[in-house]
């Protein structure tokens, strides 16, 4: 307490505390690792702080091949883990890219349990068979795409994918059909940076006066050059009916250094935000933190830099088993995000993505976690927990199902303002179901029967 505050406290000795003061040691959301202990990774033992804090160094030393990644870890983890991960990569639909920063945040003394390892390094021993109803592009983004890389599903908003690369590749990516290089498992639909394709997307957006809101995603806007950010911003802001632009990037969670050292990129984003403000249009950044360990002192400094420039940052998390599927971890994540000026906006129940069954949780887990998070901080900093309805229903409040059978794990949703009259179905992971549900899914003849039962109950208005 400063002396003037101490004097003030002395003046009002008659304040009767209704609650005992909270022990500051329990305010864990404020306790950040300033800079991760990167030198404990043998490959980085001679790296200087200045190098580690520079985005060029981080980008140049990001690892893009499983064998190189595992080589960098060889002295830190067991041979059994290396073998497990080698086999995991050969069965994964996603490419590999991890920054030294990300590797430094992982607890290599217990890599099987670490929540960041879980998100980025697949292990064969943890993999489960895909759900029989699962497919790539479960959200049917390509079906709602009038131009390659532009999805127009909701009336007033569209999703523009200007490129197909990211500063990191996440095991659980919804766009694993397009993002990153081809893998042994998947040959992808590529959305390369292509002026002609971009021009077509802008022409479509200009031709649709109902569009007000454009999400610029990818891939990842971190990988756009400063002049490309300006080019996209200028083109979209010049369209009269566009009122809002969201620039989506996972970068702050995996390489916050860029915001502190890539002045050109940050200036470009700032210029688009300011140009938008003068035109009374909102331009914001959307990002993607999933676990409180992803937020360090470097993140705080990076977010403060955007905050000083008046840039709003919102977060969209994905709920994942063993990562953030408990009330304690999710509460800490939400509070920590608020602490570094990032608004927790959505928590998605994990999409039906190939090769990620071990990461998915049930809808009922999401509902329970939401119940515990709501009320732990201000409402505007409390995320909405949603299911992105497979088949193109868009985001539905997790608890807004028409019908949910916890035995078969089938939940049914409606999206009257997106696709009126249609029912959308989400499937809980089979290994999390009670025995009766697992037995029914083991019999292919039961699959359609279970689905029809659930749809019939939804139509009859039976929630359970």
> Measured between alpha carbons, how far is residue 315 from residues 76, 150, 261 in Å?
32, 22, 22
Least distance (Å) between residue 72 CB and ligand SF4: 20
For position 437 contacting ligand SF4 by CB under 6 A, the verdict is: no
For position 339 contacting ligand SF4 by CB under 6 A, the verdict is: no
State the DSSP H helix or E strand holding residue 216, giving kind and residue range, or none if neither: strand 213-216
Give which of 111, 131, 107, 136 is closest to 121, Cα–Cα.
Answer: 111
How far apart, in whole angstroms, are the C-alpha atoms of residue 272 and residue 285? 11
Residue owning tokens 């208005």: 461
Q: Closest CB to ligand SF4 among 73 and 168?
A: 168
- 393 contacts 420 by C-beta, under 8 angstroms: no
For position 163 contacting ligand SF4 by CB under 6 A, the verdict is: no
For position 218 contacting ligand SF4 by CB under 6 A, the verdict is: yes
Residue owning tokens 């199902």: 401
> Measured between alpha carbons, how far is residue 341 from residues 160, 244, 260, 314 in Å?
26, 20, 16, 9
Coil, helix or strand for 305?
A: helix
Task: Provide DSSP, 375-388.
Answer: TSS-GGGSPEEEEE
For position 166 contacting ligand SF4 by CB under 6 A, the verdict is: yes
For position 93 contacting ligand SF4 by CB under 6 A, the verdict is: no
Give which of 325, 326, 322, 306 is closest to 314, Cα–Cα.
Answer: 306
For position 298 contacting ligand SF4 by CB under 6 A, the verdict is: no
Tell which one of 117, 131, 153, 175 touches ligand SF4 (CB under 6 A): 175
Give the range of 165-173, 274-282, 356-364, 397-405 binding ligand SF4 by CB under 6 A. 165-173
Give the range of 168-176, 261-269, 291-299, 444-452 binding ligand SF4 by CB under 6 A. 168-176
Q: Closest CB to ligand SF4 among 217 and 414?
A: 217
Least distance (Å) between residue 201 CB and ligand SF4: 17
Give the range of 13-21, 130-138, 163-171, 369-377 binding ligand SF4 by CB under 6 A. 163-171
Least distance (Å) between residue 170 CB and ligand SF4: 3
> Measured between alpha carbons, how far is residue 263 from residues 32, 54, 225 in Å?
25, 11, 12
Token readout for 10 is 């002395």
Strand partners, 403: 412
Give the range of 138-146, 172-180, 265-273, 380-388 binding ligand SF4 by CB under 6 A. 172-180
State the DSSP H helix or E strand holding residue 347, giving kind and residue range, or none if neither: strand 343-349
Residue owning tokens 């990002």: 287
Tell which one of 153, 246, 250, 354 touches ligand SF4 (CB under 6 A): 250
Least distance (Å) between residue 85 CB and ligand SF4: 18
Q: Closest CB to ligand SF4 among 104 and 320?
A: 320
Q: Closest CB to ligand SF4 among 316 and 414?
A: 316
Q: Is the dihedral of CA 350, 126, 335, 98 positive or negative?
A: negative
Give which of 43, 307, 71 is closest to 51, Cα–Cα.
Answer: 43
For position 168 contacting ligand SF4 by CB under 6 A, the verdict is: yes
Least distance (Å) between residue 166 CB and ligand SF4: 3
For position 170 contacting ligand SF4 by CB under 6 A, the verdict is: yes
In the chain, the largest separation of any two C-alpha atoms, in whole Å, equals 77
Q: Closest CB to ligand SF4 among 229 and 458?
A: 229
Q: Closest CB to ligand SF4 among 262 and 402?
A: 262
Token readout for 48 is 């200087």
Least distance (Å) between residue 348 CB and ligand SF4: 11
Question: How many residues line the site for ligand SF4 (CB under 6 A)?
Answer: 10
Least distance (Å) between residue 250 CB and ligand SF4: 4
Give which of 212, 227, 168, 217 is closest to 191, Cα–Cα.
Answer: 217
Residues binding ligand SF4 (CB under 6 A):
166, 168-170, 173, 175, 179, 218, 220, 250
């Amino acid at each position: 307490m400063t002396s003037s505050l101490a004097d003030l406290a002395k003046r009002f000795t008659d304040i009767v505390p209704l609650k005992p003061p909270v022990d500051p040691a329990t305010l864990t959301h404020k306790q950040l690792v300033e800079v991760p202990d990167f030198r404990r990774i043998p490959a980085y033992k001679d790296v200087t702080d200045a190098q580690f804090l520079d985005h060029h160094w981080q980008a140049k030393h990001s690892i893009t091949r499983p064998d190189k990644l595992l080589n960098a870890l060889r002295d830190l983890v067991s041979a059994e883990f290396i073998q497990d991960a080698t086999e995991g990569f050969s069965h994964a639909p996603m490419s590999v890219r991890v920054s030294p920063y990300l590797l430094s945040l992982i607890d290599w003394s217990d890599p099987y349990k670490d929540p960041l390892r879980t998100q980025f390094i697949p292990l064969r021993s943890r993999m489960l068979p895909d759900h029989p109803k699962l497919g790539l592009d479960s959200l049917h983004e390509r079906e709602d795409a009038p131009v390659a890389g532009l999805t127009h599903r909701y009336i007033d908003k569209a999703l523009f994918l200007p490129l197909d690369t990211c500063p990191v590749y996440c095991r659980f990516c919804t766009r694993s059909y397009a993002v990153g290089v081809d893998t042994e498992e998947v040959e992808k639909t590529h959305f390369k940076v292509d002026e002609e394709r971009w021009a077509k997307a802008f022409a479509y957006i200009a031709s649709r006066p109902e569009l007000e809101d454009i999400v610029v995603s990818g891939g990842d806007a971190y990988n756009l050059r400063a002049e490309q950010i300006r080019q996209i911003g200028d083109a979209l802001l010049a369209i009269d009916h566009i009122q809002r632009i969201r620039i989506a990037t996972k970068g702050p969670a995996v390489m916050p250094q860029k915001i502190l050292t890539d002045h050109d990129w940050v200036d470009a984003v700032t210029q688009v935000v300011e140009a938008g403000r003068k035109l009374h249009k909102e331009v914001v950044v959307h990002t993607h933190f999933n676990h409180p360990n992803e937020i360090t002192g470097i993140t705080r400094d990076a977010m403060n830099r955007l905050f000083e420039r008046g840039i709003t940052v919102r977060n969209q998390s994905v709920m994942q088993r063993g990562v953030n599927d408990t009330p304690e971890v999710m509460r800490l994540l939400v509070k920590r995000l608020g602490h570094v000026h990032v608004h927790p906006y959505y928590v998605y129940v994990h999409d039906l993505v190939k090769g990620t069954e071990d990461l998915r949780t049930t809808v009922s887990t999401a509902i329970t976690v939401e119940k515990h998070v709501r009320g732990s901080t201000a409402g505007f900093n409390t995320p909405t927990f949603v299911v992105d309805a497979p088949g193109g229903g868009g985001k539905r409040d997790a608890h807004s199902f028409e019908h949910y059978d916890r035995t078969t794990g089938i939940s049914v949703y409606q999206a009257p303002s997106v696709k009126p009259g249609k029912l959308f179905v989400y499937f809980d992971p089979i290994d999390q179901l009670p025995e009766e549900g697992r037995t029914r899914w083991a019999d292919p003849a039961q699959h359609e029967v279970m689905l029809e039962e659930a749809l019939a109950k939804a139509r009859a208005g039976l929630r359970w």
